[in-house]
Each structure stands twice: as C-alpha cells, then as structure tokens.
Structure 1
Amino acid sequence: MAYIKSRKHAVARTLPPHALTTAATATLMAIAAPALAQTSGGTLGEVKVEATTDIYKADTSASPKFTQPLVDTPQTVQIIKKEILQEQGAGTLMEALRNTPGITMQLGENGNSSQGDAFQMRGFSTQTSTFLDGIRDLGAITRDTFNLEQIEVVKGPAGADIGRGGASGYINQITKLPSLENGFSGTVGLGTASKLRTTADFNRKLGETSAIRLNVMAQDSGVDGRDYVENKGYGIAPSIAFGLNTPTRLYLYSYHVRNDNVPDGGIPTIGMPGFYNATGVINSGARVRRDNFYGSVNDYEKSEADMFTAKIEHDLGAGTTITNVSRYGKTKWDRVTTGVNTGGAGIVAVDPADPSTWTVNRNRQRTDQVNEILANQTNLRSDFDLGGIKHSLSAGVEFLYERQKALSFSATGISNPAANLYNPNPNDNLGIPYGTGAYSDGSTTTAALYAFDTLKFNEQWLLNGGLRFEHYNTKLNGATVVTAGNAAQYPGVAVGALGADNRSDSDNLISWKIGTVYKPASNGSIYAAYATSYTPPGSGNFVLSSSTTSADSPALDPQKTTNLELGTKWELLDKKLTLNGAIFRTENDKQVTYDSLSATYFQTGKTRVQGIELSVVGEIARGWQVMAGIAKMQTRQLNQISNTGVVTDAVRWSPDLTATLWTTYAVGGWTFGGGARHVSEQKRVITAGAALATQPMPSIPSYWVADAMASYAVNRNLTIRFNVNNIFDEEYIQTLNNGGTRMTLGAPRSAFLSATYAF
C-alpha cells in the first residue's frame, strides 16, 4: 500500500500569487522535461496550472467522530483556520471566536470572578466545553493560538460527541504536529499600548519517516485604553513524530505556557446610558475616564499550563485505522484583583456639589485554583460495505479523571480605602484576602463508550447516527467556614469552625444524535437532525452543593438538552465556496423552579433557544476570500419562578442578532482585507415585569465594530502586515457584570505592525 504524505500540518508560508504560479509552473516543467526530451517534432499541448486557494475553506473536520465531509455533516460546524488567525493577529481563543456568530463574552458575578476564557454560545455557557484534540481542556486560563492548526466550533447539543455538558455545543482546538517538510515561520509584531508579540514555528525532517516541530511564543504588552493593565507571558510547544507515511505513526507532544499579568477589574458604569442609582446626585454623575485603573499596582494574575500527550495511529488495512491518545494536563491559577461596586452605597458623594470628592467602594478577591486531567481515548475508524450499504464507522472508548481544587479566602476585617471615583490612586495600600482554611476539592471520573456511523444508501441518501454511554462519578471533599446563616447544614459544628463538605453523585448517561441527509446534487445537501445531551450536578467545576435548590445538588436529576436542526449546505464555484444555512430549536429541561401551591421546588423549569444561522466561507473569485456569518436567535425561560415569586422569562447576555465578516483580496504582492462584527442588545435584567428605569444598566447596548488589514509580500520569504482594529474608534461595552455596576469597554482604535519570515 502506498502512503501519501499529508500536508495538513505543514509550516505556514506566505507567498504572493505570482510566486505560487511560478513555483507551480517550474514543478510542472520539471516533471514534463523527461517526456519532452524523448519527443521529436511534437507539439506541446495546452498546459493548465491551477494553484490551490482553499485558504479559508475547510472540507473536513480533524475530529474522527465526524465520519463525512462537512458538506454532508448534518450539524452546524465552523472551522477557523490558522491563516485567518494570522491575518487578523488573533493571539487568543477569545479573539479567534469573534469570527463565529452566536458567541458572546462574559464578565462574571458582582465581584471579579471572571476566570480565563468565559463565553456562551446560543444562550448557554460554553466555558467548560472547550477541548484540545478532542479531549476536554480544563483550567481557568486565557488560551493562546500560537500552537493551533485550526479551531472547530460545533454548535447544538453534543452529548454524543463529548459527553456530559455541551448544552449548546463545544470548541475543539487542533494542535500543530510535525510533518515531513523542512520549514520555518516566524512573526515579530509591535503595536499600540506598547504591545510586543513574537511567535515561531520550526519543523525539521529527521529521516525518511520522522520529524520534529517546535512552536514558541512570547509577549509583553499593555492593553489599549487601559492604564496599568498588562499581559505578559511565553509558551513553548515541542513535538516529535515517528513512522510518518508508514502504517504506524507515533506523536509525542507537549504544551507549556506561563502568564504573569496585571488583571483588569473594570470601571464603574456611572454616567453610561442606563445607569441608575437611588441617590439623585449620583444618578446624574459624569462618566469616568476609560483608562482609570481602580486596582492596585500589586494586583497580579499568574497562570501555568502544562500538557503532555502521546498519540499512536495504526492502519489495520482495508480502510481501518485505530488511534490511541493518552494525556496528562495541569493548570495553576493564582490571582489577586480589585473591583468596584457602584450599586447601592457603593458610591459616596462626600460633597454632593463637588464630584472630585466622590468615592467608590472597592473590594479585593483572591483565587488559588489547580486543575488536573488524565485521559485515555481509543478510537477505531473504518469504511466498509455491509448488506449493500456503505458504512463509515467511528467507535471508541474513553477514560477520564478530572480534578479541580480551589482554596477559599476572606477579606473580613480588612478595611480597604475607597478610591476617588474620578481620580483613583493605584498606589493605595490595600489588604490581601487571607486563607480561611476552607476549600473545595472536587473530581469526576468517567468511563464511556461511543459509536458513530454514516450509512450511505445511494448517492442521494445518507443516515448519520451517534450514541454515547458513559458512567460518571463526581466526588467533593472540602470544608466550609460555618456561619450563623449555614449552621443548620453543619450540626454540631461551632460557628467559625470548619464544616466538612463530603458529597458525591454518580449516574449513567446515554446521549445520542441522528441525522438524515438528502443530496439533490453532488455539491449540496439538505438535512434534518436531532441530538441530546445531559448536564449533571457539578458538571462545570465538580462542586456539589448542599442546597436543594441549586443545580449542583446531588439530589437532582441531570438537566437534559434536546436540539432539532434543519439545514442545507452547498459547495459552489467549483467547490471553492461553501454556503450554509440552518434553523434550530434547543430546549434545556429539568431546571429548578418553585411551586407556590405546594411550597416545593421541582425540576420543571426550561430554557428554550431557537433561531436561524447563515454562513459563507471560501473563495468568491480568484484572490478574493471571505468568511461571514449571521445568527438570529430568540431565547426564553419557561416556568422559572423563585420562592419569592420572581419570574425569569429571558436569558442573560443572549443577543437577538449577531453577525461577523472577514474578507481579503490579493492582487500582486498585496493583500487588502477587513471585517466587521455586530452584536445586538444583550439583556442583563431578565425578570418579568421589572421596571427597567430603576435598574442599573439593564442591558448592554448593541454595537458595530470594524477592522482593517493590509499586507505586502516583499518576496517569497518576507511579508509585512498592518492591522487596524476598531478603525472608527467605536466606544462600546464589551462585558458587564451581573449587577450592572461594573464594565469593561471594548478596545479603542488600535494598530499592530508585524513581519513574517518564512522559508
């Protein structure tokens, strides 16, 4: 059997169109030369040279659980390739996800609890549904893109794919791996806010069947529009491969990132349209400067992420491959940050007539958290005929151990001085929260079996199905400081002492999906799909609650999510451009709600999200690439009633309309590009009948942001690129805390100049 060398993980090179054409022509002539030398008096026929231009468009997923090309996959899947990330200068996962509609960023609770990458998709939190090469990626960290080949955004309940959680889908990051090509690509960039970032990608062939690859990153930068906030870090990702282009291939790779940042606690929302405070003079107060820093020069955020992976692939023959992946990962997160609270008495008008004397309350929080994961996944992929029906089977077994330990801290007894509202002093002496001895140490072990199969009855009809059975066991071993308010939960323990938190929950989950695909033409499909997923107690952070009204109570059943999706996908313009469209309806059931007649809590609450999503990706014309999407969404909560009679009828931070666009055009050695993204109003206040005029910042207003890029290929090795983000200097709220008193503004107009050298 002959093995074809894959270029999937080739080191990125930037070549102008004329260089591609010249290289292709030279290669063709070299191949044809021996035949021409043997031809006398002949006439050379027409020769056509076509360069591959699938820069944005991906035909297949890197996940073995998708058994068909994307055009025949009955689900919304978007792939963001590394070429787009490089063009946009997107260095983090959060920046990369701006390319997909239906995703919004989150800030957290009334404190400063936003941890790492925090976002939600199609109305549900997706923070804990982030994966790396198909294995759950834990940790409250900001993920970097320097070692990613592509990012796959899979939408709709995905219990069959990933197991517990995944109520609205998941994010799968694909790692760069070695290939049998010698190459180097390095980028150095300088930007506004003293931004400095450099990355390098080195691949070296060691022999006929082995290679090494090294990706590195270093950055040291401020944050546009913010004083004192800093992002500093470095990363290294070495890998080695053996047996390339042979039936048995072994990949050993690891990932190590260190960050030492000054975190951003945000700014008060006073003076913003929609701000409200019961004190009249404060309610009419002016806005603060966007660059005001209310934290301390001693605030810090340190994180460490280490991951080790071994992957072995073996071709059994007859279209069958078996793969085993083993991984150990650990992340550490240590942070002290300062936030503000402008609600209630948070702002004090010392002299109502002199705003320069006004002060704002600030509080410090401390976090110390460790996450670990140990995983082993074995997958069998096979194509075969059975009973006259073609099958594409992917089946496997998965074992996971996940753990999160977090220490608890208190600021009781620490009296931090209030900050001057309009002129805060970051050099004020602020106390650091101290450890109480309380902690939570939770873990989940999972054993799962799964299988996916596509039955191809003929050229028009396909049936796709997936099934996952898993057994999970979640355990919490922790301790809580007993107070007068929770003393009843810890009988016999004195107030002020530590009460033991030892709880567990285990169950069996069966998730499935099924989709029917009709192909009216070879380049298109129409499909209908149905999928389920389950979210058991403690699914997000392994913390099981003693409260019977909490979704994390082990006494409750797992929440169930179902999804119905109807869609169509078409490859046009010689299959260089893909158009996708889908309508969907997702319903999450078994949420806790209160029945006033029986004065009892029941799991009858629901969240319903329905909408339509359209996208286009690929080459419109020679040199013209595009990736665009739009999502129209309606969210509702049903039967959501508290014991005080409060009815919740909407979903927080779920805009009705989101849209993204990125497009580039290459001519000669130049490439010009740009894009825009739109997010409509995001509700904060979701209580039915609430008087919005007396609610602080009831929503985040809608906004448009536009970006631009230009690059020039100086030669076949060197490319200069210039990015301008938020070119119209639009001021908008990017994230708002749940209380509406604290916000972060989107970055103002900023610029980044980079040079990429590749050979």
Structure 2
Amino acid sequence: MAQIRSRKHSKPVHLLALLAASVPAAGMAQQAAPTLPTVTVKEAPEVPFKADKSANDKFTAPLVNTPKTVQIIKREVLEEQGAITLMEALRNTPGITMQMGENGNTSAGDTFQLRGFSLQQSTFVDGIRDLGAVTRDTFNLEQVEIVKGAAGTETGRGAASGFINLISKQAHLGDENSASGTLGTASRKRATVDLNKQLSDTSAFRLNAMVQDSGVDGRDHVDNKGYGVGLAYAAGLGTPTRLNIYSQHLRQKNTPDGGIPAIGFAGYASIPGAAKVRRDNYYGSVNDREKVDADMVTAKIEHDLGQGTTVRNITRVGKNHMDRTLTGIIGITAVDTAATALNPAVVAANPATWLVSRSRQRVDQENTIVANQTSVSSEFNAGGLQHSLAAGVELLHEKQVSFDHGTAAATTPAANLYNPNPLQGMYNFGGRTGGKTGGTTNTIGAYVFDTAKFNEQWSLNGGLRVDRYKLKTDNITAAGVRTALDDSRSLVSWSVGGIYKPTQESSVYASYATSATPPGGNNFQLSAATPTAGSNANAALDPQRTKTIELGSKWELLNKRLNVAAAVFRTVNDKQTSYDAVSNTTQQFGKTQVQGIELSAVGQITNFWQVTAGLAKTSTKQVNQQNATVATTGVRWSPDLTATLWTSYQLDKFTFGLGTRYVSEAKRFVNATGAQGNLPNVPSYWVADAMVAYQVSDKVSLRLNVYNLFDKDYLMAVNNGGGRLALGQQRSAAVTANIKF
C-alpha cells in the first residue's frame, strides 16, 4: 500500500498591532526559560489511520485535549477505500447526509448536511472558505478534517453544526514519487501521479495530477470526465523562515443526473401499486452538460521568532465557474400520450403510455474569493499558567454571480415514464442576456484562542472572534432594471471549554460554543420582501444564533495507538422566522434543536490491524415553527442513527479491508398535519464494501475494491417533493495499481 510521508505543520504569521495586546511579548522576553531535567525523547511510530493534532493553526492543543468533536480522515484511509470524491471520503464520519435539489433540478457539487444543518458555505481549504458548485476530488488532499458543533469562532459566519477543512498536499524534503492507475466497472478509468523533488537543502517542488473518464454504475448516459493539477513549491524548509506557494486547478466535464421518478418505491402514495422504473433510465438529454473550472493560488510565509512564537501570513485568490444545462423530471402524468383524460381503468391498463413532465434549466455561475490571513502562534508562561495561544486577523472578499440566458419560446417535452428517450429534441438556451443575480461579501475578522494550563490535570480552552461583515446584493434584469440591497453588521462568536485529565493519555471535558448566520449569509442574496416563515433574507432580520453544549471524554489507548472518544451534545439554532397567529405577522421565535451522542475509535488494535469507526445517535426537532396553515415539528433529512466502520488487516503481503455504513430512516414529510403524497421518507439502509491488496514488491502493489458487496438496493437521497430520488451505487468494482519510483 502507498505510504504517507510524515509532514509536520509549522506555525508562523505576521503579528498585527490589533492583536499585540493578546500576546505578552514583553513578559516573554523578560522571563528566563525554565531549567528542566534532561530527558530522552523517542518518537512514537506513526499510526496510519490516527492523527494526534489538527493541521488547523487555530487549534491550540492536541486532539485528546481539544474540548469538541473533531475527526480527521487521513490519506491512508482514502487510499485503501479508493475514495476519490469528498462525498466518498465523508462516508467515514457519522452524521452527514446527501441532499438533492428541487424543481426538477439536482444539487451541483458537494451538497450535504451535518447534524440536521446544511453545510453550505462551510467547506474550507487550509483554513480558508472554499466557494462554488464543485465536486471536490481527493487527489491533492493530505487529509480531511471534520469539526462538529457551532464553530463561528473558528470560521466566522455560519457553521451552525460545524465545518469541513481540506488539507492540501505540500512540498517536503526528500524525493518521493508515486503513480496509480485504476480500471473499474462502468468504464471507470483514472490515473494519478504524485511527484516530490528536493531542489536543495531547504527547498522542494511537488506535482500532483489526476485524469479520469468514468461512467456511473447503474446509470445510462451519465459520466464524469476531468483532470486536475496541484503544484507546490517550498523554500526555507528546516529554517526559521519558510515560504510555500501552491495552487490547484480542476477541470470537470460531467453529465448531470436528475435522478429517477420515485413511483413504485415503498411508501409512494400518489399512484398506489404502480411499478418502479428501471434504475438505469436516464430522463435527461444527451445535450445536457456540466462544465466546471476551478482554480486557486495560495502563498504562505512563516517565520519563527523564537521562544515558541511563530508568525505567518497566507494569501489566496480563487475562482470557480460552473456552466450547467440540466433536463430534470418533475411530476408523473398517468394519461395516454394521445389524450388528456382517460377512464382510470384504461389508464391503469396502459402504464407504457404514462408520462413524466420535465424542466430544462441553465446555471451559469461564477464564484470569486480573495483572502488574506495574518496570525501568530505562541507558547509561554504568564500569570502562573502555561499558555498556548493563536490569534489572527482575516480579510475576506467573496463574490457570487449567476448569469441569465435567453430561452426559446417552447416548453420542455415530457418523457415516457418507463421508456425515456435521451435523443428526444430539446430547445437550446441562448447567450447571456445581460441579466444577472449577484452578491458580494466583505469581512474583516479578528480572533484569539488560548489554552491555559493550570497544572497537569486541569486546563481551560477559550476562543473569541469578532467580524465586521458587509453583504451587498446587486441584481440586474435583462431589461436593465437594477435592484441593490446591502446589510452591514458585526458578528461575535465565542467558545469556552474546561478539560480535566484523569491520566496523561485521557481527558474529560465540557464546552460551550456559538455561531451566527446573518441574513443572506449562505447565498449572497438579500430581499426587501416582507419575511415569511422559514425565510432569512430580509436585512431587517437579526442573525440566526446557534449554540452547542458538549460533554465528552477522549482516551489514547494501546500505547497511544488507538484514539477513542465519546460525547453528548445539544445544538440549538435560534431566531428562525415563524408565523405568529396572534399578530398575523412573521416573527423570529422559531428554533431547531439537535441533540445526541457520538462515539468514535480510530487507530491500531495491533501493528497489523487498523480501524476507523463512528456512531451518532441524534434527535432533531423544530420548536415554535409555524406557517400560516400548519406547524412543523420535525427536521427533514435527519436520520436519528448513522454508523460507519472501516477496518483492514495486513497478513504478510496481503491486506484485507472490510467496511460498512448504516443510515436510519430520514423523513421528508415532517408537518404535523396534511397529506404526505409521493415518497414520505428515505428508508434505512446499510451497505458493505471490501478490499484486498497485494504487495508485489517494495515498489509495486495491486488493490481490488468492491463496493456495495451484497448488491443492496437503497435510496441515497430524495427531493423535497418526494417525486424523484437518487439510488445508491450498485455493486461495482475497481482494480488499482500503485507504483513508487
């Protein structure tokens, strides 16, 4: 199996005057370093699945002493599983579910929710927010970090249930080269290369590249094509001043998939007794497309000031463009193609003539981000306490623009329900009309984190972030009519956690954390319309406030080879809009509450036996959620039990892997009253995967992955209306050859 070279994350940045008061530099300069007895340090062997510390510089303690739930998925896990997308990587953490779009559309890129809340705008790359409708690839990732619970202190706006931080591969000293090639079912073809070249005693260059051309198992006419390049240069390695310049460039040319009608599946109520459609039916057009261009360039400079203090500055410019034409399904019409109304008995006898209506949509969207972070990390003694501090300033400019396109004066033709024709004629979209919907967000943020150690048993972790935030919406119609709205305000988020260590290898903690989501904070759009129940776009509204309370314990077992953790939590999102029947107005008294328990185990049971496992049991509910006609008590798409397991065992030259994941029922229909219609929920399911690898030589290994080992039919996602769905991957396989040179 391919091995990962250990990479240590240094801590440097520019120290701004705004945060100078947070660092007692004068005290550090005057205080003599304590005299300690001479000790011999033996570096513990690296455990492939286990991480001891986050790569995020805002975390001021090792994971075992961090008072919140943090899971790190390392590259070794992704390689064993053959996980190539972020969604596949996130199967290793409980509590995350996929979402579909509405109105015949399908969600573009990575769209999922965590612990009952959307993760929209909560994906980061190396600590900087990542925008755009991109299906993120793992070819240039060192690891994936998932932080759970309200995380406004770490991220700024949003992050009601946490965030995802992707850690990029960086150049390092030493020559290390590898390549892989994959062939699989559904004409899957993929190749990657990872080349690291040491240029001098202190500099190195790294190239990561990927190309793929694959179909989708169980789906006709759907494919994913693309390539990606990651470039990284590092200078000053092993010296007090280090420079990293790196970039990533991704190109995708996919066929979008709107899913299949939900007719015939268990619980489908609209046409009882009807047969299912074939899972490989494609209801789009051969002319549908999804073209994505995503680029980002980053420069990071670090300098060690000495006495445990490092300053750093990181600057990034990124731009994503997604251009998509999708033909999606909407509603089923049980009528003959030659008539608009038939006797029900005749209709039932002629399902071959049933139709499904469709829509045709064009999305042309650009996302731009310019970011600069200046921060400092320091360890020092002050006030009789040992401190580990991180502080910084962030400047952020984000922009999203969606362009309008002309359409022909024609309706989208319906498709035969059981025998759709992807060659059926469709109208084409014209060029850009000049109309556009856009928004920009400018943020100035300052933050400080500190872990204060009282003694060997007790410590306190705290954080504070203040953002000055301005959102401007600028919409223009094709006729040139302009609507401009803006909102400017300050956001404050904070966190605090107390840690008690029964032993050096364990901790028990209690923590409290907050976050804030201002109006339009997730989609760059403000509205002047009177707020309605569930809306959050009017600038007159207060930000939604989220708080998380968590109690937990973490233990390093088996000579620090295995991490186990348990936590109970409650998250409440307040100030949601709801209908007030007394005043007949919309007010901000609605809440969403999510509470539960999460368990995890990551690391080695023996030198040859690796494991990563997690389980989350949650309860979600809406409090005081009401529109003009009905109350809402539940939360959509929130299974109450999710579990994941991946384990592998090395036996001589063979490595055997087995994994399973379970997701309980997720409800679409949560209203207290009213007709359900269509498909009311996503049924529970479990899926098993398997892997076997063979080490041919020191340089060559082969790996076979089998997905959905028992060929289980399961629903992965259902749209909000319950009329269409996406099925999970059927049994499939891929063979990968890994070569080192």
* TM-score > 0.5 by shorter chain: yes
- Structure 1 residue corresponding to 2:107, chosen from 108, 114, 118: 114
Work out whether residues 349 and 359 of structure 1, in 8 Å CA contact, stay in contact via their aligned partners in 2: no
Q: Which amino acid aligns with 2:300?
A: K
The equivalent of 2:667 in structure 1 is 683
Matching residue within 416, 419, 442 for 2:415: 419
Distance 1:595 1:347, change over 3 A: farther
Cα pair 1:265 1:338 within 8 Å, conserved: yes
Q: 1:349 to 1:59 in 2, by over 3 A?
A: farther
- Corresponding residue for 1:7? 6
1:187 aligns with 2:184: no
Aligned residue among 544, 549, 554 for 1:559: 544
Cα-to-partner distance string for 1:184-239 (whole Å, 9 max, x where unaligned):
01110000000001111000000000000000000000000000001000000111
* Aligned counterpart, 2:291: 302
1:744 and 2:722 equivalent?
no
- 1:457 paired residue among 454, 457, 472: 454
State which of 610, 619, 630 in structure 2 corresponds to 1:625: 610
Kindly indicate whether the alpha-carbon contact (under 8 Å) linking 1:346 and 1:361 is maintained by their aligned counterparts in 2.
Answer: no
Matched, 1:583 2:579: no
Paired residue type of 1:210: S
Deviations 1:273-298 (A, max 9, x none): 11122xxxx43321100000111100
Q: Is 1:472 equivalent to 2:466 in the alignment?
A: no
1:360 offset after TM fit, Å? 1.2
Distance 1:412-1:584 versus aligned 2 partners, 3 A rule = farther
Contact 2:332-2:357 at 8 Å conserved across structures: no
Question: Which amino acid letter does the alignment assign opposite residue 652 of structure 1?
Answer: R
Alpha-carbon distance, 1:449 to partner: 0.5
Letter in 1 for 2:625: Q
* 1:515 correspondence with 2:515: no
The residue aligned with 2:634 is: 650
Partner of 2:623: 638
Counterparts of 1:528 and 1:345 in 2: how far apart (Å)? 57
Distance 1:83 1:170, change over 3 A: same
* 1:212 partner amino acid: F
**Inter-partner Cα distance in structure 2 for 1:675 and 1:212:** 36
Offset of residue 51 of structure 1: 8.7
Question: Which of 252, 267, 270 in structure 1 is aligned with 2:245?
Answer: 252
Please give the residue correspondences for 1:212-291 in structure 2 after superposition, counting only pairs within 5 Å.
212-277=205-270, 282-291=271-280
Q: Is the CA contact 2:704–2:734 (under 8 Å) kept in the aligned structure 1?
A: yes
Cα distance, 1:163–1:115 mapped onto 2, change above 3 Å: same
**AA of the residue aligned to 1:719:** S
2:645 aligned with 1:661: yes
Shift of 1:265: 1.3
- Give the alignment of 1:77-476 within 5 angstroms: 77-277=70-270, 282-342=271-331, 352=347, 353-409=349-405, 413-434=409-430, 437-476=434-473
Counterparts of 1:552 and 1:408 in 2: how far apart (Å)? 21
8 Å CA contact 1:9–1:149 kept in 2: the answer is: no
2:687 equivalent to 1:705 = yes
Give the letter for the 2:610 counterpart: Q
Q: Give 1:347 shift.
A: 9.5
Picking from 646, 666, 671, the partner of 2:655 is: 671
Give SS of 1:333's match: strand
Code of the residue aligned with 2:395 in structure 1: it is F
Q: What's the offset of the Cα at 1:436?
A: 5.5
* Normalised TM-score (structure 2): 0.92
> What amino acid sits opposite 1:377 in the alignment?
Q
| Deviation, structure 1 residue 500 | 2.2
| Equivalent residue, structure 1, for 2:37 | none
Q: 1:9 touches 1:179 (CA, 8 Å); kept in 2?
A: no
Tell me the matched-pair count. Answer: 694
Measure the CA separation in 2 of the matches of 1:596 and 1:409.
41
User: Residues 383 and 86 of structure 1: is their aligned pair in 2 closer, same or farther, counting only changes over 3 Å?
Assistant: same
Report the counterpart of residue 738 of structure 2 in structure 1: 756
* Structure 2 partner of 1:489: none
Q: Distance in 2 between matches of 1:743 and 1:501?
A: 36
Percent identity of paired positions between Structure 1 and Structure 2: 57
Letter in 1 for 2:355: T
Hey, what's the Cα distance between the residues in 2 that align with 1:410 and 1:555?
34
Contact 2:333 2:354 in 1 (8 A): no
Q: CA deviation at 1:451?
A: 0.2
Secondary structure of the residue aligned to 1:556 is: coil
Following TM superposition, by how much is the alpha carbon of 1:58 offset from its aligned partner in structure 2, in angstroms? 0.2
Aligned-residue offset at 1:53? 4.7
Q: Is the 8 A contact 2:334 2:351 kept in 1?
A: no
How far apart, in 1, do the equivalents of 2:272 and 2:323 lie? 36
1:464-517 per-position Cα deviation (integer Å, ceiling 9, x unaligned): 000001100000111257xxxxxxxxxxxxxxx564220000100110000000
Map of 1:539 onto structure 2: 521
Which amino acid in structure 1 is aligned with residue 374 of structure 2? T
Alpha carbons 2:333, 2:356 under 8 Å: kept: no
- One-letter code aligned to 1:318: Q
Query: For residue 339 of structure 1, what is the amino acid of its counterpart?
Result: G
Gap change, CA 1:684 and 1:150, over 3 Å in 2:
same
Amino acid at match of 1:106: Q
2:709 equivalent in structure 1: 727
Displacement of 1:59 in angstroms is 0.2
CA deviation map 1:103-132 (0-9, x unaligned): 000012232141210000000000210000
1: CA distance, partners of 2:291 / 2:325: 9
The alpha-carbon distance between structure 1 residues 160 and 347, as it changes in their structure 2 partners (threshold 3 A), is: farther
Deviation at 1:582, TM superposition (A): 0.3
Note the alpha carbon deviations across 1:672-708, whole angstroms, 9 max, x for none. 011000000001011113444xx21010000000000
SS at match of 1:520: coil
Q: CA deviation at 1:50?
A: 10
SS in 2 for 1:528: strand
- Once the two structures are TM-superposed, the CA of residue 540 in structure 1 deviates from its matched residue by 1.2
Q: Return the TM-score normalized by structure 1.
A: 0.89
Q: Secondary structure at the match of 1:63?
A: coil
Q: Distance in 2 between matches of 1:346 and 1:521?
A: 71
Secondary structure of 2:352 counterpart: helix
Deviations 1:121-167 (A, max 9, x none): 00000021000000001111100000000000000000000000000
In 1, the alpha carbon distance for the partners of 2:480 and 2:370 equals 31
On the 8 A contact 2:336/2:353 being kept in 1, the answer is no
- Of 683-692 and 597-606, deviating more is 683-692
- CA distance in 1 between counterparts of 2:463 and 2:710 reads 47
Counterpart Cα distance in 2 of 1:555 and 1:624:
56
Instruction: Report how far residue 344 of structure 1 moved.
Output: 6.9
CA contact (8 A) 1:373 1:400 kept: yes
- SS at 1:229's partner residue? strand
